[in-house]
Structure 1
Amino acid sequence: MVNQFQYAVRMHADEWKYQLKKQSENQPSMIDQRQWVRPPTNVVKINMDAAFHDESKAGGWGAICRDSSADVHFAAAGPIEVATDALHTETLPLSYAVQVAEQLGVGRVIFETDCSNLHRALVSSDYDLAHIGTIISDLKFRLHMNFIDASVVYAPRICKKPAHELAALGVGVAQGDHAMWTTSYPSSVTRLVTGDLAVS
């Protein structure tokens, strides 16, 4: 119990230092990006997001995969049944998105998240001893072993509106299940994808 408390205090202190350092550095790719950006040729980008309703205590995840022509390869959504905190809630959509990408045989992929802590967890060892350390370690292994090339990058939430909409739809999917679209996407998602194209 004492070790867990000390770890939590250290992680909060480290997070403050990390955020202050990030604000002081010149990082235009994290600060200036205001829209979805197409991935390189022969690479797909998967945006994912989580939604959580405080009133109902229900959560959902969503993911959408697009290529350099902005064509949608697939969209998926499902419920989040149990999440211990915000970082756990944001980690689950990535885990589900990786699972779908593995099943569909995606080779070169960029996973885009708006959770800076999740990005940090995957590019460092800072969260290996956290309560979600096992999930993080599993994701690192799968990203390395099951794709030709895979990376997880940070982008602001404004850059992934379709994924956010899918996460909201995921709240309504039956527990233990998920919805998948490869054609005929939900109209609300199609409108947001079209909006991305208008400004990209």
Structure 2
Amino acid sequence: MQKQFLLPHQVIEFTENYLKSFKSQNSVTNIRLSSLNPQHWLCPPSATVKINCDGVVFEQGMEMGLGVIARDDQGRCLWWSSKRITRGGNGEIAEAMAVRHGLELGARLGWSSIIIESDCANLISKMMSPDHDMSFIGPIVADSRTLAASFQLCSFNLVPRYCNTVAHVLAKSAVGSLEGISNLPAGAADLVLADISTS
């Protein structure tokens, strides 16, 4: 059998068509971005879980803290996580890992409609971009997009730090890998109650 070779312009045409087809089949229509600018933390709509995520880098530079809290439409804590991991990197990597961790928790706990909130503008922008992210957090963003597509509805909100304080406290206070429904770490429980009173 004689081998057939493609001419350069045929290779280009094939590649362009393949990429166009790939993008159309992998466009995630159930992911949305909210442009809200809240003055305080807000409860999610009924039947939706809001997951606030935050990541910090500790002074040593080789450890990160990931904080995640999921709440219902009454502001009640459904699940929280405070996780310390050994990994070098900057704040953006920590933020990206926190969002991925929040999505993983949502998938593991079987929620179908979620809102992810973060105070990292660059990360939220990357999550919503249709382009392949070639930056150092690209692989984490790709994982998160895949996870987000598994939900019936997944929205991303960019919020000010003061709307993300519980997740921040959970990230800053991370000493191991703790999670649960109740027994929030010191300080976080009071902030949850404060959020309920203002939402």
SS in 2 for 1:29: coil
Matched, 1:163 2:167: yes
Deviations 1:13-59 (A, max 9, x none): xxxxxxxxxxxxxx9823xx221011111101000111222246432
- Structure 2 unmatched runs, 5+: 1-33
Provide the TM-score with structure 1 as the length reference: 0.76
**What's the counterpart of residue 180 of structure 1?**
179
1:1-200 correspondence to structure 2 within 5 Å: 29-30=36-37, 33-55=38-60, 57-125=62-130, 128-144=133-149, 146-170=150-174, 172-173=175-176, 178-200=177-199
Q: Partner amino acid for 1:102?
A: A
- Counterpart CA distance in 1 for 2:139 and 2:35 is 32
SS in 2 for 1:45: strand
- Counterpart CA distance in 1 for 2:61 and 2:127 is 30
Q: Which has the larger radius of gyration?
A: 2
Question: Number of aligned pairs?
Answer: 166
- Structure 1 unmatched runs, 5+: 1-26
Aligned-residue Cα RMSD (Å) equals 1.9
Same amino acid, percent of matched pairs: 27
**What's the counterpart of residue 7 of structure 2?**
none
Cα gap change, 1:85 to 1:185, in 2 (>3 Å): closer
SS in 2 for 1:47: strand
Provide the TM-score with structure 2 as the length reference: 0.77
- Counterpart CA distance in 2 for 1:137 and 1:111 is 16
